[in-house]
Each structure stands twice: as C-alpha cells, then as structure tokens.
Amino acid sequence: MKNKPIIIVPGEPKSIFFEILFKSLKKNKFKSPLIIISSIRLLKSQMKKFKFKKKIKLISDKNISSINLTNKSINLINVNYENKVGKRKSFNNTNNFIKKSFDIAFKIIKSGLSDKFINGPINKSIFLNRKFLGMTEYISNAFNAKKTAMLIYNKELSVCPVTTHLPLKLVSKKINKKIIREKVKIINDFYLNNLGFKPKIAVTGLNPHCESILKFNEDEKIVSVAIKSLKKANFRINGPFPADTIFLKQNRIKYDVILGMYHDQVLSPIKAIKEYDAINITLGLPFFRITPDHGPNFKMVNKNLSNPLSLLKAIKFLDQR
C-alpha cells in the first residue's frame, strides 16, 4: 500500500472528538487514507448534529489490504455501541466499546497494514480503572514496549516528562540516573530517525531552584550525574535548570526539547505557551502513536466551539510519513 492508512479510534463516545475531526476534514486533504474505528450509529448521529455530509464506506479489518481506500468517503470499521440505561451499565458498555475499538486497531497495526495510529481522548479514571497510569502505558503494554516516552511535540519546542501520571509524593522515588538516560536516548533516536537531526535537550531539576534543604539533593546526586554521562556520550544536553525559569523565552529558544522530572512540571508550561499547537507522541513503540493534546472536554461537548488544531497537526504529521 503506497500510503499506509491512518487508523483512528475516536475514544470516548461523549467527547469533542467527532466535532474536531469533522472540522479537520472539511478544509484539508490528506494523502493517507483515514480509517475510523467506531459505531456507525454514533458517527451518523454526530454527522447530523454538526451538519457534516460525507458518504460512509463500511469496511472490514479482515480485508483492508485488498480494498482501494481513498478519503472520498469515511472509511469505517463498525463497532456496536449502545448507551444503556443505568450508570454502571453505561460505564461497562462504554469500556467494552473502547476496548474493542483499540483491539481492532492493534490487530491492524500488528499485521503490518498500518504504522500510523491516532486515538481520541479517553476518560482514563473509568476506562483504565487504576490498572495503568495512563493510555501511554496501556498501549505500550499491548505491544510489550518496555522503554517508552511521552513527547508533547511542537516543531519549535517539545517537552517530555521523565515520570508520567504519578502522584507527586511518588515522583522522587522513581527518579534515577538510568531512567533519565533512557528518556534522553529515546528522544534523541526519534529526532534523528524521523526529523533528521540531533535535538538540543534541556533538563529541569526536581526541586525548586534545583536546591534542597535535605541532606540528599536529587539534582546533585542523580540529575547532574546523568547529564554529565550523557554529555560524554555526545548528546546535546544541558542542565539541570530550575523549572521556573527554563521556559522563559530567552532560555527556551535555545532548545528543541525540555525534559522534566514529572508530568505537570513541563506539560503545564507547554500548554500555556503553545495551547492547542502540540501533539502527544508516544516514543519507543514499533509504530507512530499520536493523540491530540487535550482530554474529552465534556463541558464543551455539542457546543461546536472546540479548537481542532491539535488533531489537525496529528493527522498532518502522520500524513507526511
């Protein structure tokens, strides 16, 4: 297949995903065919709600290689979904629907028919039920990927947290020289293999101002030591920098990536700076997995006010591969 299809799992049935998908499809053409894995009833309902008109082409995951796929219609693999009455029944049915959608996507990817995957936002607290820290870990587990990284990517500046969805009280216990070196190598490989250059990486400290009133200072004993060893191995890396100043314009423009010690330390500032102009890429998988850099946004559902930029960037990024 000349242009491998982009597999899209919309995720949470009640989210803003279909709205931003329709907005992305209205004004843009893509070389790679898109395959949506979702419910035909749900899709038709959303198309009617947002006055989006396009033919639906029902396909099967069993014969994708033999189908001439284009984007003249919506290529849909139907997954049954009914919003049953009762809170528990509704949650269970939604979870089953999401899981089946992911299972079909994983099957297609493992068959080699596609290496491009986008998933819409998921209500992680209900779907994962504490079995995984986040969707990054859920998908990594499905492909037995042990070394992965979450990169919030923007061409001008990207960020990556060393730890992802951990409670703050557990972060310091997970920070070590090995994991810092691991994340830097994964980031470096991604940039070299897919963007053609070695990135300049800044690393934040764990503690405010990289200082601590305790005898053991992680920034001296762990972070600095890891950075020194990576410098000796010819990585373009500096730090540790205080997290409260590295994102100042005169500092951040010197780097392609800022590696932080925990989730909100780097995700909060990048979202404030770039807003929707960033995508979440899981590095270390045997395929491209991207998700728009926002959640289900339940408060905005059906209001037709959501910004499609992040999803559009995700599709365009994969369309170029």
Confidence (pLDDT) at 107: 96
d(CA 181, CA 162): 10
What would be the CATH architecture of the domain defined by 1-145+285-321?
3-Layer(aba) Sandwich (3.40)
Confidence (pLDDT) at 89: 53
The DSSP call for residue 193 is I
Q: Which of 186-195, 227-236, 284-293 has the lowest mean pLDDT?
A: 284-293
User: What's the pLDDT band for 59 if we cut at 50, 70, 90?
Assistant: very high
User: What's the pLDDT band for 67 if we cut at 50, 70, 90?
Assistant: confident
d(CA 100, CA 98): 6
Number of Cα atoms under 13 Å in the Cβ half of residue 313: 21
Flag whether pLDDT at 293 surpasses 80.
no
Domain ranges of the chain: 1-145+285-321, 149-282
Q: What is the pLDDT of residues 83-116, one digit of tens each?
A: 655 454 566 889 999 999 999 999 999 999 999 9
User: What's the pLDDT band for 140 if we cut at 50, 70, 90?
Assistant: very high
Whether 1-145+285-321 shares its CATH topology with 149-282 is answered yes
Confidence (pLDDT) at 118: 98
Flag whether pLDDT at 181 surpasses 60.
yes
Flag whether pLDDT at 188 surpasses 60.
yes
Q: Candidates 3.40.640.10, 3.50.50.100, 3.40.718.10, 3.40.50.970; correct CATH number of 149-282? A: 3.40.718.10
Residue 240: is the preceding peptide bond cis (ω within 30°)? yes
Q: What is the mean pLDDT of the chain?
A: 93
Number of Cα atoms under 13 Å in the Cβ half of residue 177: 10
Q: What is the pLDDT of residues 212-251, one digit of tens each?
A: 888 899 999 999 999 999 999 999 999 999 999 999 999 9
Confidence (pLDDT) at 90: 64
Flag whether pLDDT at 296 surpasses 60.
yes
d(CA 91, CA 76): 24
Whether 244 and 208 have beta carbons less than 8 Å apart is answered as yes
